[in-house]
Protein backbone atom coordinates (compact mmCIF):
# COMPACT_ATOMS: atom_id res chain seq x y z
CA UNK A 1 0.00 0.00 0.00
CA UNK A 2 1.39 3.44 -0.90
CA UNK A 3 1.93 5.86 1.96
CA UNK A 4 1.92 9.66 1.64
CA UNK A 5 2.62 10.74 5.18
CA UNK A 6 5.45 13.22 5.53
CA UNK A 7 7.18 11.02 8.10
CA UNK A 8 7.89 8.23 5.59
CA UNK A 9 11.50 7.29 4.86
CA UNK A 10 12.93 4.65 2.53
CA UNK A 11 14.66 1.74 4.31
CA UNK A 12 16.88 0.69 1.36
CA UNK A 13 20.60 1.10 2.20
CA UNK A 14 22.08 4.19 0.57
CA UNK A 15 18.68 5.72 -0.27
CA UNK A 16 17.92 8.98 1.53
CA UNK A 17 14.46 9.62 0.06
CA UNK A 18 11.71 10.79 2.38
CA UNK A 19 8.20 12.14 1.96
CA UNK A 20 9.23 15.54 3.28
CA UNK A 21 11.89 16.13 0.59
CA UNK A 22 10.47 13.90 -2.17
CA UNK A 23 6.67 14.09 -1.78
CA UNK A 24 6.21 13.09 -5.43
CA UNK A 25 7.38 9.51 -4.63
CA UNK A 26 5.16 6.82 -3.14
CA UNK A 27 6.22 4.77 -0.12
CA UNK A 28 5.20 1.12 0.26
CA UNK A 29 4.98 -1.01 3.40
CA UNK A 30 6.54 -4.47 3.53
CA UNK A 31 4.06 -7.23 2.55
CA UNK A 32 2.41 -9.28 5.28
CA UNK A 33 2.93 -12.56 3.41
CA UNK A 34 6.04 -14.20 5.00
CA UNK A 35 7.47 -15.52 1.71
CA UNK A 36 7.07 -12.24 -0.13
CA UNK A 37 8.42 -10.31 2.85
CA UNK A 38 11.56 -12.48 2.79
CA UNK A 39 11.93 -11.70 -0.93
CA UNK A 40 11.81 -7.96 -0.18
CA UNK A 41 14.38 -8.27 2.63
CA UNK A 42 16.69 -10.31 0.42
CA UNK A 43 16.26 -7.85 -2.48
CA UNK A 44 17.23 -4.77 -0.44
CA UNK A 45 20.18 -6.66 1.12
CA UNK A 46 19.18 -6.32 4.75
CA UNK A 47 18.64 -8.77 7.59
CA UNK A 48 16.15 -8.44 10.40
CA UNK A 49 17.84 -7.99 13.72
CA UNK A 50 18.81 -5.31 16.25
CA UNK A 51 19.80 -2.86 13.50
CA UNK A 52 16.78 -3.41 11.27
CA UNK A 53 13.28 -4.25 12.41
CA UNK A 54 10.22 -4.13 10.17
CA UNK A 55 7.39 -2.25 11.83
CA UNK A 56 3.95 -1.77 10.35
CA UNK A 57 3.34 1.84 9.41
CA UNK A 58 6.96 2.96 9.78
CA UNK A 59 9.14 0.79 7.48
CA UNK A 60 8.82 1.52 3.77
CA UNK A 61 10.46 1.15 0.37
CA UNK A 62 10.09 4.12 -1.99
CA UNK A 63 8.82 3.86 -5.56
CA UNK A 64 12.31 4.51 -7.02
CA UNK A 65 13.16 0.84 -6.42
CA UNK A 66 10.25 -0.61 -8.47
CA UNK A 67 9.85 -0.89 -12.23
CA UNK A 68 6.83 0.49 -14.09
CA UNK A 69 5.58 -3.08 -14.58
CA UNK A 70 5.39 -3.47 -10.78
CA UNK A 71 2.55 -0.93 -10.54
CA UNK A 72 -1.12 -1.39 -11.37
CA UNK A 73 -1.84 0.55 -14.58
CA UNK A 74 -4.69 3.05 -14.50
CA UNK A 75 -4.83 3.37 -10.72
CA UNK A 76 -5.19 6.88 -9.29
CA UNK A 77 -2.51 6.14 -6.69
CA UNK A 78 0.75 4.24 -7.00
CA UNK A 79 -0.46 0.75 -6.13
CA UNK A 80 1.83 -2.27 -6.47
CA UNK A 81 0.81 -5.44 -8.24
CA UNK A 82 0.53 -8.59 -6.23
CA UNK A 83 3.93 -10.26 -5.93
CA UNK A 84 5.95 -7.18 -6.92
CA UNK A 85 9.49 -7.14 -5.51
CA UNK A 86 11.87 -4.11 -5.51
CA UNK A 87 14.65 -4.54 -8.06
CA UNK A 88 16.16 -1.08 -8.84
CA UNK A 89 19.05 -0.08 -6.57
CA UNK A 90 22.24 1.95 -6.57
CA UNK A 91 24.38 -1.20 -6.71
CA UNK A 92 22.81 -2.26 -10.04
CA UNK A 93 22.65 1.30 -11.47
CA UNK A 94 18.86 1.25 -11.10
CA UNK A 95 18.46 -1.22 -13.96
CA UNK A 96 16.23 -4.25 -13.74
CA UNK A 97 18.07 -7.61 -13.90
CA UNK A 98 17.79 -9.26 -17.30
CA UNK A 99 15.31 -12.14 -17.47
CA UNK A 100 16.18 -15.26 -19.47
CA UNK A 101 13.89 -15.94 -22.41
CA UNK A 102 12.03 -19.20 -22.67
CA UNK A 103 13.47 -22.04 -24.77
CA UNK A 104 10.60 -21.66 -27.25
CA UNK A 105 11.41 -17.94 -27.85
CA UNK A 106 15.12 -18.62 -28.19
CA UNK A 107 14.50 -21.41 -30.73
CA UNK A 108 12.11 -19.21 -32.72
CA UNK A 109 14.68 -16.40 -32.78
CA UNK A 110 17.44 -18.75 -34.01
CA UNK A 111 15.14 -20.04 -36.75
CA UNK A 112 14.42 -16.48 -37.89
CA UNK A 113 18.15 -15.60 -38.00
CA UNK A 114 18.94 -18.75 -40.03
CA UNK A 115 16.18 -17.97 -42.52
CA UNK A 116 17.49 -14.41 -42.89
CA UNK A 117 21.04 -15.64 -43.56
CA UNK A 118 19.78 -18.14 -46.14
CA UNK A 119 17.84 -15.39 -47.90
CA UNK A 120 20.89 -13.10 -47.94
CA UNK A 121 23.07 -15.89 -49.38
CA UNK A 122 20.53 -16.54 -52.13
CA UNK A 123 20.37 -12.84 -53.05
CA UNK A 124 24.18 -12.59 -53.08
CA UNK A 125 24.56 -15.32 -55.71
CA UNK A 126 22.14 -13.50 -57.99
CA UNK A 127 23.88 -10.11 -57.62
CA UNK A 128 27.20 -8.84 -58.90
CA UNK A 129 30.32 -10.48 -57.56
CA UNK A 130 31.50 -7.33 -55.83
CA UNK A 131 28.64 -7.47 -53.32
CA UNK A 132 30.07 -8.45 -49.93
CA UNK A 133 28.36 -9.20 -46.63
CA UNK A 134 29.69 -8.77 -43.14
CA UNK A 135 30.73 -11.90 -41.29
CA UNK A 136 28.13 -13.81 -39.29
CA UNK A 137 27.23 -12.08 -36.05
CA UNK A 138 28.84 -8.76 -36.98
CA UNK A 139 25.50 -7.03 -37.49
CA UNK A 140 24.21 -8.15 -34.11
CA UNK A 141 27.38 -6.92 -32.43
CA UNK A 142 27.10 -3.56 -34.20
CA UNK A 143 23.47 -3.15 -33.15
CA UNK A 144 24.31 -3.97 -29.55
CA UNK A 145 27.15 -1.45 -29.61
CA UNK A 146 24.89 1.24 -31.10
CA UNK A 147 22.29 0.62 -28.41
CA UNK A 148 24.98 0.88 -25.76
CA UNK A 149 26.17 4.23 -27.16
CA UNK A 150 22.60 5.54 -27.37
CA UNK A 151 22.03 4.56 -23.76
CA UNK A 152 25.16 6.45 -22.73
CA UNK A 153 24.12 9.60 -24.57
CA UNK A 154 20.40 9.67 -23.88
CA UNK A 155 20.30 8.30 -20.36
CA UNK A 156 22.82 10.20 -18.27
CA UNK A 157 22.67 7.92 -15.26
CA UNK A 158 23.04 10.05 -12.17
CA UNK A 159 21.21 7.65 -9.85
CA UNK A 160 24.30 6.02 -8.35
CA UNK A 161 25.98 9.32 -7.50
CA UNK A 162 25.94 11.78 -4.64
CA UNK A 163 24.44 14.25 -7.11
CA UNK A 164 21.27 12.15 -7.25
CA UNK A 165 21.14 12.18 -3.47
CA UNK A 166 21.48 15.92 -2.99
CA UNK A 167 19.81 17.13 -6.21
CA UNK A 168 16.67 15.01 -6.44
CA UNK A 169 14.33 17.98 -7.00
CA UNK A 170 14.35 21.41 -8.63
CA UNK A 171 14.50 23.10 -5.22
CA UNK A 172 17.62 21.13 -4.29
CA UNK A 173 19.24 21.85 -7.66
CA UNK A 174 18.59 25.57 -7.15
CA UNK A 175 20.11 25.44 -3.67
CA UNK A 176 23.21 23.37 -4.42
CA UNK A 177 24.06 24.50 -7.99
CA UNK A 178 22.07 27.74 -8.57
CA UNK A 179 20.59 26.34 -11.79
CA UNK A 180 16.84 27.12 -11.92
CA UNK A 181 15.71 23.56 -12.71
CA UNK A 182 16.85 20.04 -13.53
CA UNK A 183 16.00 20.63 -17.19
CA UNK A 184 18.32 23.65 -17.45
CA UNK A 185 21.07 21.82 -15.58
CA UNK A 186 20.87 18.79 -17.89
CA UNK A 187 21.20 21.03 -20.95
CA UNK A 188 24.31 22.58 -19.40
CA UNK A 189 25.76 19.24 -18.28
CA UNK A 190 25.24 17.47 -21.60
CA UNK A 191 27.06 20.34 -23.34
CA UNK A 192 30.21 20.10 -21.18
CA UNK A 193 30.33 16.41 -20.19
CA UNK A 194 32.15 15.17 -23.33
CA UNK A 195 35.07 17.58 -22.87
CA UNK A 196 35.02 17.35 -19.07
CA UNK A 197 35.66 13.62 -19.31
CA UNK A 198 39.21 14.44 -20.50
CA UNK A 199 40.03 16.70 -17.54
CA UNK A 200 43.49 16.44 -16.03
CA UNK A 201 43.84 17.54 -12.41
CA UNK A 202 45.76 20.77 -12.10
CA UNK A 203 48.49 19.20 -9.96
CA UNK A 204 49.13 16.61 -12.69
CA UNK A 205 49.03 19.32 -15.36
CA UNK A 206 51.69 21.27 -13.47
CA UNK A 207 54.01 18.27 -13.51
CA UNK A 208 53.38 17.35 -17.14
CA UNK A 209 53.35 20.87 -18.56
CA UNK A 210 52.54 20.89 -22.27
CA UNK A 211 52.50 17.11 -22.35
CA UNK A 212 49.33 17.11 -20.19
CA UNK A 213 47.14 17.55 -23.25
CA UNK A 214 48.57 14.42 -24.82
CA UNK A 215 48.02 12.25 -21.78
CA UNK A 216 44.93 10.10 -21.41
CA UNK A 217 42.28 11.10 -18.89
CA UNK A 218 43.34 9.83 -15.45
CA UNK A 219 41.36 7.39 -13.37
CA UNK A 220 39.03 9.27 -11.04
CA UNK A 221 38.10 8.51 -7.48
CA UNK A 222 34.51 9.72 -7.99
CA UNK A 223 32.02 10.18 -10.86
CA UNK A 224 32.45 13.31 -12.98
CA UNK A 225 29.06 14.69 -11.93
CA UNK A 226 30.12 14.41 -8.28
CA UNK A 227 33.26 16.42 -8.99
CA UNK A 228 31.06 19.21 -10.35
CA UNK A 229 28.84 18.88 -7.27
CA UNK A 230 31.94 19.25 -5.07
CA UNK A 231 32.85 22.43 -6.98
CA UNK A 232 29.27 23.68 -6.51
CA UNK A 233 29.39 22.98 -2.78
CA UNK A 234 32.44 25.21 -2.54
CA UNK A 235 31.31 28.00 -4.90
CA UNK A 236 27.51 27.99 -4.95
CA UNK A 237 26.86 26.92 -1.35
CA UNK A 238 30.05 28.34 0.17
CA UNK A 239 30.87 25.28 2.28
CA UNK A 240 34.19 24.93 4.07
CA UNK A 241 36.62 22.42 2.61
CA UNK A 242 36.62 20.29 5.76
CA UNK A 243 32.84 19.85 5.60
CA UNK A 244 32.96 18.95 1.89
CA UNK A 245 35.76 16.45 2.56
CA UNK A 246 33.67 14.77 5.27
CA UNK A 247 30.59 14.58 3.04
CA UNK A 248 32.50 13.05 0.11
CA UNK A 249 34.81 11.01 2.36
CA UNK A 250 37.95 12.39 0.72
CA UNK A 251 40.88 14.46 1.90
CA UNK A 252 40.92 18.27 2.04
CA UNK A 253 43.67 18.21 -0.58
CA UNK A 254 41.30 16.39 -2.96
CA UNK A 255 38.61 19.02 -2.42
CA UNK A 256 41.10 21.79 -3.17
CA UNK A 257 42.43 19.96 -6.25
CA UNK A 258 38.96 19.32 -7.68
CA UNK A 259 37.80 22.90 -7.00
CA UNK A 260 40.80 24.47 -8.72
CA UNK A 261 40.60 22.01 -11.64
CA UNK A 262 36.93 22.71 -12.32
CA UNK A 263 37.33 26.46 -11.84
CA UNK A 264 40.00 26.55 -14.54
CA UNK A 265 38.15 24.14 -16.84
CA UNK A 266 34.87 26.10 -16.72
CA UNK A 267 36.80 29.34 -17.20
CA UNK A 268 38.37 27.96 -20.39
CA UNK A 269 34.97 26.78 -21.66
CA UNK A 270 33.17 30.05 -20.85
CA UNK A 271 36.01 32.21 -22.20
CA UNK A 272 35.41 30.69 -25.62
CA UNK A 273 31.85 32.13 -25.57
CA UNK A 274 31.46 35.61 -27.06
CA UNK A 275 29.19 37.27 -24.51
CA UNK A 276 29.23 40.68 -26.22
CA UNK A 277 26.21 40.84 -28.53
CA UNK A 278 25.65 43.03 -31.57
CA UNK A 279 23.73 46.30 -31.53
CA UNK A 280 20.94 44.70 -33.56
CA UNK A 281 20.48 41.88 -31.05
CA UNK A 282 20.52 44.37 -28.16
CA UNK A 283 17.67 46.33 -29.73
CA UNK A 284 15.74 43.19 -30.69
CA UNK A 285 15.72 42.01 -27.06
CA UNK A 286 15.32 45.47 -25.47
CA UNK A 287 12.33 45.95 -23.12
CA UNK A 288 9.72 48.53 -24.11
CA UNK A 289 10.70 50.94 -21.35
CA UNK A 290 14.24 51.17 -22.71
CA UNK A 291 12.93 51.71 -26.24
CA UNK A 292 10.87 54.61 -24.93
CA UNK A 293 13.50 56.45 -22.86
CA UNK A 294 16.95 55.16 -23.93
CA UNK A 295 16.70 53.29 -27.25
CA UNK A 296 20.45 53.47 -27.98
CA UNK A 297 21.74 51.98 -24.71
CA UNK A 298 24.23 49.23 -25.55
CA UNK A 299 25.31 48.28 -22.04
CA UNK A 300 24.73 49.17 -18.39
CA UNK A 301 27.90 49.30 -16.31
CA UNK A 302 28.54 48.91 -12.62
CA UNK A 303 31.33 47.77 -10.32
CA UNK A 304 31.20 45.44 -7.37
CA UNK A 305 33.71 44.28 -4.79
CA UNK A 306 34.48 40.93 -3.19
CA UNK A 307 36.25 40.54 0.12
CA UNK A 308 39.67 38.91 0.28
CA UNK A 309 41.36 37.25 3.20
CA UNK A 310 43.91 39.51 4.90
CA UNK A 311 47.36 38.95 3.35
CA UNK A 312 50.42 39.04 5.58
CA UNK A 313 52.41 41.39 3.31
CA UNK A 314 51.78 45.06 4.11
CA UNK A 315 52.38 46.08 0.49
CA UNK A 316 49.63 43.74 -0.73
CA UNK A 317 47.34 44.98 2.03
CA UNK A 318 47.75 48.59 0.94
CA UNK A 319 47.11 47.77 -2.74
CA UNK A 320 43.91 45.82 -2.07
CA UNK A 321 42.48 47.87 0.82
CA UNK A 322 39.15 49.57 0.11
CA UNK A 323 38.36 52.61 2.23
CA UNK A 324 34.70 52.33 1.19
CA UNK A 325 34.37 48.73 2.41
CA UNK A 326 37.04 49.16 5.12
CA UNK A 327 38.41 45.77 4.15
CA UNK A 328 40.83 44.05 1.79
CA UNK A 329 38.87 43.71 -1.45
CA UNK A 330 39.04 42.98 -5.16
CA UNK A 331 36.96 44.96 -7.63
CA UNK A 332 35.33 43.90 -10.88
CA UNK A 333 33.33 45.60 -13.65
CA UNK A 334 30.15 44.03 -15.06
CA UNK A 335 28.32 45.05 -18.19
CA UNK A 336 24.69 44.05 -18.71
CA UNK A 337 22.52 44.42 -21.80
CA UNK A 338 19.07 46.03 -21.33
CA UNK A 339 17.48 42.56 -21.51
CA UNK A 340 19.42 41.55 -18.37
CA UNK A 341 22.06 39.32 -19.98
CA UNK A 342 25.62 39.72 -18.69
CA UNK A 343 27.60 40.71 -21.79
CA UNK A 344 30.88 41.94 -20.32
CA UNK A 345 33.01 40.69 -17.41
CA UNK A 346 36.27 42.29 -16.41
CA UNK A 347 39.04 40.70 -14.43
CA UNK A 348 39.27 41.44 -10.70
CA UNK A 349 41.55 44.33 -9.80
CA UNK A 350 42.85 45.69 -6.50
CA UNK A 351 40.10 47.22 -4.38
CA UNK A 352 41.44 50.78 -4.42
CA UNK A 353 41.08 51.20 -8.21
CA UNK A 354 38.61 53.89 -9.33
CA UNK A 355 35.58 53.32 -11.54
CA UNK A 356 37.16 55.37 -14.32
CA UNK A 357 40.46 53.50 -14.20
CA UNK A 358 38.83 50.06 -14.21
CA UNK A 359 36.71 51.09 -17.22
CA UNK A 360 39.86 52.21 -19.00
CA UNK A 361 41.87 49.01 -18.42
CA UNK A 362 39.05 46.45 -18.51
CA UNK A 363 38.83 46.23 -22.31
CA UNK A 364 35.24 47.36 -22.80
CA UNK A 365 36.01 50.59 -24.69
CA UNK A 366 37.18 48.85 -27.91
CA UNK A 367 33.88 46.94 -28.00
CA UNK A 368 31.74 50.10 -28.21
CA UNK A 369 30.69 51.58 -31.56
CA UNK A 370 29.87 55.04 -32.79
CA UNK A 371 26.48 56.15 -31.44
CA UNK A 372 26.33 53.64 -28.57
CA UNK A 373 25.05 54.82 -25.20
CA UNK A 374 26.40 53.56 -21.88
CA UNK A 375 24.27 53.82 -18.75
CA UNK A 376 26.04 54.00 -15.38
CA UNK A 377 25.95 55.50 -11.90
CA UNK A 378 27.16 58.98 -10.96
CA UNK A 379 30.58 57.66 -9.94
CA UNK A 380 31.48 56.74 -13.52
CA UNK A 381 33.10 59.96 -14.75
CA UNK A 382 34.04 58.43 -18.08
CA UNK A 383 32.62 60.96 -20.54
CA UNK A 384 36.05 61.67 -21.99
CA UNK A 385 36.84 57.96 -22.44
CA UNK A 386 33.54 57.32 -24.22
CA UNK A 387 33.93 60.43 -26.38
CA UNK A 388 37.13 58.96 -27.83
CA UNK A 389 35.21 55.96 -29.20
CA UNK A 390 32.12 57.95 -30.24
CA UNK A 391 29.87 56.71 -27.42
CA UNK A 392 27.71 58.67 -24.98
CA UNK A 393 27.33 58.39 -21.21
CA UNK A 394 23.93 58.36 -19.51
CA UNK A 395 24.07 59.03 -15.75
CA UNK A 396 21.65 60.67 -13.28
CA UNK A 397 21.96 64.48 -13.01
CA UNK A 398 24.39 65.71 -10.36
CA UNK A 399 23.15 67.56 -7.33
CA UNK A 400 23.45 71.36 -7.63
CA UNK A 401 22.69 74.28 -5.29
CA UNK A 402 19.22 74.76 -6.67
CA UNK A 403 16.32 72.33 -6.64
CA UNK A 404 16.01 69.68 -9.33
CA UNK A 405 13.65 70.64 -12.09
CA UNK A 406 10.73 68.41 -13.02
CA UNK A 407 12.65 67.13 -16.05
CA UNK A 408 15.74 66.33 -13.97
CA UNK A 409 13.63 64.52 -11.38
CA UNK A 410 11.91 62.38 -14.01
CA UNK A 411 15.26 61.67 -15.67
CA UNK A 412 16.77 60.55 -12.36
CA UNK A 413 13.83 58.27 -11.60
CA UNK A 414 13.87 56.76 -15.10
CA UNK A 415 17.60 56.01 -15.03
CA UNK A 416 17.27 54.52 -11.54
CA UNK A 417 14.51 52.19 -12.71
CA UNK A 418 16.53 51.06 -15.72
CA UNK A 419 19.84 50.75 -13.84
CA UNK A 420 18.27 48.28 -11.43
CA UNK A 421 18.87 45.65 -14.13
CA UNK A 422 22.61 45.64 -13.49
CA UNK A 423 22.02 45.63 -9.73
CA UNK A 424 19.92 42.48 -10.07
CA UNK A 425 22.55 40.86 -12.26
CA UNK A 426 25.21 41.55 -9.62
CA UNK A 427 22.86 40.14 -6.97
CA UNK A 428 22.65 36.91 -8.97
CA UNK A 429 26.43 36.70 -9.07
CA UNK A 430 26.65 37.40 -5.34
CA UNK A 431 24.10 34.65 -4.61
CA UNK A 432 27.04 32.27 -5.07
CA UNK A 433 27.89 32.04 -1.40
CA UNK A 434 31.63 31.82 -1.88
CA UNK A 435 31.44 35.65 -1.86
CA UNK A 436 29.66 35.76 1.52
CA UNK A 437 32.96 35.57 3.40
CA UNK A 438 36.48 36.70 2.46
CA UNK A 439 37.95 34.52 -0.28
CA UNK A 440 40.81 32.45 1.23
CA UNK A 441 44.30 33.16 0.00
CA UNK A 442 44.57 29.52 -1.10
CA UNK A 443 42.23 30.45 -3.98
CA UNK A 444 43.98 33.73 -4.88
CA UNK A 445 45.29 32.14 -8.09
CA UNK A 446 41.80 30.96 -9.05
CA UNK A 447 39.55 33.76 -7.82
CA UNK A 448 39.45 35.42 -11.27
CA UNK A 449 38.29 32.18 -12.88
CA UNK A 450 35.61 31.60 -10.22
CA UNK A 451 34.43 35.20 -10.59
CA UNK A 452 34.11 34.85 -14.37
CA UNK A 453 32.30 31.51 -14.05
CA UNK A 454 29.73 32.91 -11.61
CA UNK A 455 29.01 35.86 -13.91
CA UNK A 456 28.47 33.61 -16.93
CA UNK A 457 26.33 31.11 -15.00
CA UNK A 458 24.10 34.00 -13.86
CA UNK A 459 22.79 34.07 -17.45
CA UNK A 460 21.35 30.56 -16.97
CA UNK A 461 18.85 31.88 -14.43
CA UNK A 462 16.57 33.47 -17.01
CA UNK A 463 15.55 37.05 -17.94
CA UNK A 464 14.62 39.88 -15.58
CA UNK A 465 11.37 41.76 -15.34
CA UNK A 466 11.98 45.46 -15.99
CA UNK A 467 9.98 47.54 -13.46
CA UNK A 468 7.44 50.06 -14.72
Q: Average pLDDT, stretch 375-404?
A: 82
pLDDT at 467 over 80: no
Long-range contacts of 290-293 (CB under 8 A, 24+ apart): 290/338, 290/418, 290/466, 293/414, 293/418
Residues 262 and 316 in one domain: no
- By mean pLDDT, which of 105-109, 252-256, 388-392 is the weakest? 105-109
Tell whether 127 is covered by a domain. Answer: no
Closest alpha carbon to 372 in 390, 346, 387: 390
Residue 327: beta bridge partners? 322
Tell whether 129 is covered by a domain. Answer: no
Which letter does DSSP use for residue 240 in this model? Answer: -
Domain count of the fold of the chain: 3
Tell whether 156 is covered by a domain. Answer: no
Please tell me the distance from the alpha carbon of residue 358 to that of residue 376, in angstroms, as a whole number. Answer: 13
Check residue 214 and give its pLDDT.
44
Tell whether 148 is covered by a domain. Answer: no
Tell whether 117 is covered by a domain. Answer: no
Please tell me the distance from the alpha carbon of residue 457 to that of residue 468, in angstroms, as a whole number. Answer: 27
Asked which of 34, 67, 94 is the last residue of a domain, the reply is 94
Contact 25, 64 (CB under 8 A): yes
Q: Average pLDDT, stretch 375-382?
A: 87
At residue 297, φ and ψ (nearest 5 deg) are: -65, 125
Calculate helix-pair angle for 252-271, 224-235, nearest 10 degrees. 90
Please tell me the distance from the alpha carbon of residue 428 to that of residue 362, in angstroms, as a whole number. Answer: 21
Residue 439 CB contacts under 8 Å (≥ 6 apart), including other chains: 306, 307, 308, 309, 330, 447
Give CA separation, 208 vs 166, 237, 267, 269, in Å: 35, 32, 20, 21
Q: What is the pTM of this model?
A: 0.61
**Residues of the chain above pLDDT 90, percent:** 32
Q: Average pLDDT, stretch 405-422?
A: 73
Residue 197 CB contacts under 8 Å (≥ 6 apart), including other chains: 217, 224
Residues 144-199 pLDDT 10s: 666 665 555 554 444 457 888 889 899 999 999 999 999 999 999 999 988 888 88
Mean of pLDDT over the chain: 80
Grouping H, G, I as helix, E, B as strand and the rest as coil, residue 239 is coil
pLDDT at 122 over 60: no
Closest alpha carbon to 288 in 467, 460, 419: 467
Tell whether 444 is covered by a domain. Answer: yes
Contact 233, 165 (CB under 8 A): no
Contact 19, 4 (CB under 8 A): yes
Domain region containing 62:
1-94
Check residue 378 and give its pLDDT.
81
Grouping H, G, I as helix, E, B as strand and the rest as coil, residue 314 is helix
Residues 307-336 pLDDT 10s: 888 766 555 555 555 555 556 889 999 999
Tell whether 133 is covered by a domain. Answer: no
Amino acid sequence: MAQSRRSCFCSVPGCSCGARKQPYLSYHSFPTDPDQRRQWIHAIRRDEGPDFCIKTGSTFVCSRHFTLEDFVSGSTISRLRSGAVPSLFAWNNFTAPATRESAFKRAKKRQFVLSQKASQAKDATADHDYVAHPPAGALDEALDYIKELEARLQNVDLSATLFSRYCASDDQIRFYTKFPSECVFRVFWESIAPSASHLVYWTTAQKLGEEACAEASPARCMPLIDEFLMYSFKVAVGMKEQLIADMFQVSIATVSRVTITWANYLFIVFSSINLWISREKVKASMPQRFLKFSPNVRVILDCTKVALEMPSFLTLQSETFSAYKNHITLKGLIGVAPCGMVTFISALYRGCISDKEITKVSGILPLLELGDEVMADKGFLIQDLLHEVGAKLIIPPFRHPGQFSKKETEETQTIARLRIIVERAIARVKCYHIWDSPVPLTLIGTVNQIWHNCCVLANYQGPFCVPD
